[in-house]
Amino acid sequence: MTQTRHVPLAPTRTQRLTTGTGIDAHRHDDHQIAYAGRGVLTVTTSTGTWVAPATRAIWIPAGTVHAHQAHGDVELHLVGLPAADNPLALDEPTVLAVAPLLRELLLAHTRPPLEDSPERTRLRAVLLDRLRASPQQPLRLPAPTSPRLREVCALLHADPADNRTLATLGRAVGASDRTLSRLFQADLGMTFPQWRTQLRLHHALVLLAEGTPVTTVAHRCGWSSASAFIDVFHRTFGHTPGAYRRRPPR
């Protein structure tokens, strides 16, 4: 994300992205809601990555430099909101749960005609009300700043199924497990097991969006069995990976 475009107004529109494509680093003076009605969307900033399947949306505050990445064929719905409209008072990207009513509001608000009208004003007011009621989801994968932590995280990014302990990983990068454990808390705000689970869930969503079978996803992401993966996935997203692969929840 070395070059950044400044797009003053966050556009409200529907855009289709094929798997592997995206929108390069840019920023808006307005807030933006990014919702993938189909596929999986990731939003990346200098501090981390947020992932959202079709049951989640990503809130992107005004001024945040960010890039979008599509996994699977993504139907991207973008809603721009003036900087004064911040219903959750959020100052960093956040994943929000998308209930069926909020989903329909996001779809309706990004369909033509997009010109201002009394109907669209009322629609936006209801959309903001529903956003206020949307639970925040812990689906952020923070990016490390410590050089030693970067090395450990890079090893796991390369192979999410790597089951080495923190002590073993520490020996590979020349740091003790106590030091690394402290760095995970101080630098990333979570424990090593929590971060590794987040990484595996992110990777699993990408593989599912690409059509990878559930059992294969489980093994490639480091779960001991498909049932263990399904249990964690269901507790996190509210539905099974099989249901997600068949169709986006509505």
CATH 2.60.120.810 boundaries in the chain: 5-140
Please list the pLDDT of the chain residue by residue as tens digits (250 residues).
456 787 666 678 899 999 889 999 999 999 999 999 888 999 999 999 999 888 889 999 999 999 999 998 899 999 998 888 887 888 889 999 999 999 999 999 998 877 788 888 899 899 989 988 888 877 889 999 999 999 999 999 999 999 999 999 999 999 999 999 999 999 999 999 999 999 999 999 989 988 899 999 999 999 999 999 999 999 888 788 887 655 544 4
Q: What is the pLDDT of residue 229?
A: 96
Query: What integer pLDDT is reported at residue 195 of this predicted model?
Result: 96
Enumerate residues 6+ apart whose C-beta is below 8 A from 18: 70, 73, 74
* CA atoms of 223 and 207, how far apart (whole Å): 14
CATH of 144-246, one of 3.30.930.10, 2.160.10.10, 3.40.50.720, 1.10.10.60: 1.10.10.60
Which tokens sit at 248? 């986006």
Residue range(s) in the chain whose domain bears CATH number 1.10.10.60: 144-246
Which pLDDT does position 220 carry in this prediction? Answer: 96
What pLDDT score does 1 carry? 47
* Tokens at 187, concatenated: 């630098």
Give dist(CA 159, CA 168) in Å, integer.
15
Q: Determine the topology of domain 5-140 in CATH.
A: Jelly Rolls (2.60.120)
Alpha-carbon distance of 132 to 237, in angstroms, equals 19
User: Which pLDDT belongs to residue 244?
Assistant: 67
